[in-house]
Amino acid sequence: MDASKQVRDFIITNFLYGDGANLKDDTSLLDSGTIDSTGVLELIMFLEETFKLKIDPEDITPENLDSVQKIVRFLSHKPAVAVSAA
């Protein structure tokens, strides 16, 4: 499954309760009221767990996380972190 579909499915399931008819890839998640500050934290946790990366506080900006399109672009430039077996 590609990143765009995974992100889109997460947003539809967790914030739009299955109704993604009006969600376009460039829809502002904040301006549309789709997510709020708590939702941003949930989104970050999902991205870190799903894509095995660390999102730094300075990366938490609307330029990186405010639409499916921006999130996918951000993910494409963010390196995955090595997961060590404990």
pLDDT tens by residue, the chain, 86 residues: 799 999 999 999 999 988 888 899 999 999 999 999 999 999 999 999 999 999 999 999 999 999 999 999 999 988 766 544 44
- CATH, domain 3-77, list 2.30.31.10, 3.30.70.600, 1.10.1200.10, 3.40.50.10490: 1.10.1200.10
Task: For residue 7, count CB atoms less than 10 angstroms from its CB and return exposed for 0-12, middle for 13-18, buried for 19 or more.
Answer: buried
pLDDT of residue 84: 44
pLDDT of residue 85: 44
62, amino acid identity? P
Q: In angstroms, rounded to a whole number, what is the distance separating the alpha carbons of residues 33 and 84?
A: 38
How many residues make up the chain in this entry?
A: 86
Enter the pTM of the model.
0.87
